[in-house]
Structure 1
Amino acid sequence: MADRTYLKPPWMQQHVGNRLAPLFGRSMVSRLSVRGRTSGRWRTVPVAVLDHEGERYLVSYRGLSDWALNLRATPECRLTVRGRTEELTTEEVPEAERPPIMAAYREKFGSMPTVSSVLTALPDPADHPVFRLRSRG
């Protein structure tokens, strides 16, 4: 996809850091499981869930990631926080509503390794898919 804005994580983060993140950042890092848009198989990645103004959000801070593309195709997901798994559905936040969410995300998670530098490299909120989490039911 030629117009896909995405900053691929360095090898070390992708293959080592993402596996260790839930161990060291248990208070900030959750595990998101989404169905692959082609395979239908469950894929799991570490994410930081933003609580903002009474809502919970997932921000694809590196841009249009595979998990964001998967959520666009199938908005149902599983979120595991401290060993507890929730079945959720998502709704993508329109670009016009993203700036305050992105500002809150930077404020809360900007001190995490790579987050601030990636958000500086991709400053436009339109480059970051944002999903509002909803309980299924």
Structure 2
Amino acid sequence: MSTTAHVKKPGWVTVHVVNRAVAWLTRRGLSVWGSRVLAVRGRKSGQWRTTPVNLMTFDGQQYLVAPRGHVQWTHNMRAAGGGELHLGKKVDVFTATEVTDDDKVPLLRAYLERWKAEVGVFFDGVGPDSPEAELRRIAPDHPVFRVTVTN
């Protein structure tokens, strides 16, 4: 078994076209399927880092799921313990609590139900209709954070 963390780096089109377009719309107050611009302090530099994310509401709670795995924003989130979610001029300051692998199954299922067309390729063939065992298998590869708005 590999000890390397699961990461799926975005391609050029995603970085330079899709993410920029979604971030541009979101910064102007137009949410694309729950999109927000996440701002979190870098764990080494202390500088604010931003990336577009999908904010999911499940059972009255809000969550951020990392479809690409253990990427930079997830490492920064663990170190910072929270950040900001931007939609237009609205900024929600929040704290983040990482969800345990055992509690991720319904969250991953809900996330895939909503965004499978956009992110399904990053889940190794697992989808919203997959058996619980398959969702449990991929849970360690996809960090999930519960977001609690503090402002």
TM-score (structure 2 length as normaliser)? 0.82
Give the CA deviation at 1:106. Answer: 0.2
Give the CA deviation at 1:121. Answer: 5.2
RMSD of the alignment, in Å?
A: 1.8
Consecutive unaligned residues of structure 2, counting only runs of 5 or more, are 127-134
Asked if 1:133 corresponds to 2:137, the answer is: no
Give the CA deviation at 1:26. Answer: 2.0
User: What secondary structure, in the 3-state scheme, does the structure 2 residue paired with 1:4 have?
Assistant: coil
CA distance in 2, matches of 1:90, 1:119: 23
Residue in structure 2 matched with residue 4 of structure 1 by the alignment: 5
Residue in structure 1 matched with residue 129 of structure 2 by the alignment: none
Asked if 1:21 corresponds to 2:10, the answer is: no
Residue in structure 2 matched with residue 101 of structure 1 by the alignment: 107
Q: Which residue of the other structure, out of 38, 46, 70, is the alignment partner of 1:40?
A: 46
Consecutive unaligned residues of structure 1, counting only runs of 5 or more, are none
Identical-pair percentage = 34
User: What secondary structure, in the 3-state scheme, does the structure 2 residue paired with 1:110 have?
Assistant: helix
Larger radius of gyration: 2
Cα pair 2:94 2:147 within 8 Å, conserved = yes
Give the CA deviation at 1:41. Answer: 0.1
Residue in structure 1 matched with residue 66 of structure 2 by the alignment: 60
Structure 2 counterpart of 1:83, one-letter code: K
Aligned pairs (5 A) from 1:65-76: 65-76=71-82
Give the CA deviation at 1:27. Answer: 3.6
Q: Which runs of 4+ in 1 moved over 4 A?
A: none
Cα pair 2:22 2:32 within 8 Å, conserved = no
Residue in structure 2 matched with residue 84 of structure 1 by the alignment: 90
More deviation, 58-67/9-18: 9-18
User: What secondary structure, in the 3-state scheme, does the structure 1 residue paired with 2:68 have?
Assistant: coil
CA distance in 2, matches of 1:3, 1:27: 32
Give the CA deviation at 1:3. Answer: 1.2
Give the CA deviation at 1:135. Answer: 2.0
CA distance in 1, matches of 2:62, 2:105: 15
Asked if 1:117 corresponds to 2:124, the answer is: no
Give the CA deviation at 1:126. Answer: 1.3
User: What secondary structure, in the 3-state scheme, does the structure 1 residue paired with 2:117 have?
Assistant: coil
